[in-house]
Each structure stands twice: as C-alpha cells, then as structure tokens.
Amino acid sequence: MLNKANTKLTLTSWFFDPHYQEPGIAEPGHHQFQIRTATSADLTGIAQIIAESFHSKDGFWGWAFPLLRLGIYEDFKHRLSSPAPHHVCLVAIETTSTANNLIGTVELGVRFADSWIQVGRSFPYLSNLAVHPKYRRYGVASELLISCQQVSQEWGFQDLYLHVLENNYQARQLYFKLGYKVHQVESNWNTFLLGRSRQILLHKHLNADSTT
C-alpha cells in the first residue's frame, strides 16, 4: 500500500508479457513489476530514466546531459520533499531480480484554471511519463497510467489531462489506446519560427471502472 496526501493505491504486481491479461498470474520466463509511490531513495533512478527518455547523451549537446539530469534530480527532490495536497510520483519497480530496478515513472498533480480549462476549476494533470528503453512494450506505461487514473478518482475527479508532442508517435499511440482524446492542439511562436512540434492536450473522462 502507498500513502501520500490521502492517496491509497493498492500495490499490485504485473508480469512482463505483451499479451498480459490478469495481474498476479505468473508465467515461466516472465518478469514481474510493481507500482508504488516514489520515495527519496528513488530519486537517482527517476532522474536517470527521465533524462534518458527526453534528452540525448550524444551530439553537440551531449555534454549538457549530466547537468540536465542533475536539474531533474533537484526538481523531483524538491517536489517529493514538499508535501502538496494533490501530487504524487509513481514508480514501476522490476521485482523479478533482487536488485529491484526502477523501470518507469510518472507524476500526477492538480492544475488550476488555465486557458484550456474553464476558469475556476482544477483538474488532475499527468506529466513526466517515462519507461526505461529496455522495458518498453511490456505494459509498464499502461499500468502507470491506469494507476494515475485510479488516484485521480480517489481524489474525487472524473477527468484527466496531459500534453503530448505531435511528433511523439509512440506516446500518442499509447494514450489513444487507453482512450484519451484530443482536447486541443496548441501552437506557439516556437512552432512557426523554429519548426518545433505542436503540443496536443489530451483528455480522458474517467469511468467508474478506470482499469483501462
């Protein structure tokens, strides 16, 4: 069980199998992972996965990689150590080996009235979803998302929002598969002047049973 800011999420185990059906059923040769809230002991693993997933170690800017990773580490350290009523960072831990490797992470918080949402309302907003490259396509991100949906409902919300870049094909496929719909396509001066990818705001209305 995990507990932070009245968040109750049952610690559940899944087994690495692209065609997994039911949690908790082990099959020979498959690995097992669990999802739980992050602690300060997870900071190094979280920073590594986020840095590797969103920044390149190679090329001209490769030298900046350790600095970016340090910045991510410090950001998360600050957020984990300052209790906010509606904020949680979840991690997926591989439990097959005794090493208990951190293989994925996601953050969930609440944002207040923004241009894309009706003024005066607040909404759960998901960010920093990343899975270690070696453990992708095993359902880890899907389970992290489903856990976030359950937490959002425990907080009393029926909607969940997140941004994805238009050129992030794999993430878009993931979100569409889990039922997220385009709420708004956002362009800014970066899009026009620097040819950067547009951001898409996705939305999911959470059903009573948010296990998908």
Binding site residues, ligand COA, CB under 6 A = 18, 53, 129-131, 136-142, 164, 168, 170-171, 173-174, 177
Smaller CB separation from ligand COA, 62 or 85: 62
Smaller CB separation from ligand COA, 49 or 80: 49
Smaller CB separation from ligand COA, 5 or 182: 182
Smaller CB separation from ligand COA, 6 or 44: 44
Smaller CB separation from ligand COA, 53 or 153: 53
Phi-psi region of 121 (alpha: psi -120 to 50; beta: other; left: phi over 0): beta
First to last CA, the chain: 21
Q: Are 108 and 151 in contact (CB under 8 A)?
A: yes
How far apart (Å, rounded) are the C-alpha atoms in residues 53 and 73?
14
Q: Which of 154, 1, 100 minimizes the C-alpha distance to 146?
A: 154
Least distance in Å: CB of 25 to ligand COA? 18
Least distance in Å: CB of 56 to ligand COA? 12
Which runs of consecutive H residues, i.e. helices, occur in the chain? 43-54, 65-81, 140-154, 169-177, 189-193
Contacts of 131 (CB under 8 A, 6+ apart): 49, 53, 92, 103, 104, 140, 141, 144
Residue holding tokens 């095993």? 138
Least distance in Å: CB of 117 to ligand COA? 18
Least distance in Å: CB of 182 to ligand COA? 14
Least distance in Å: CB of 159 to ligand COA? 18
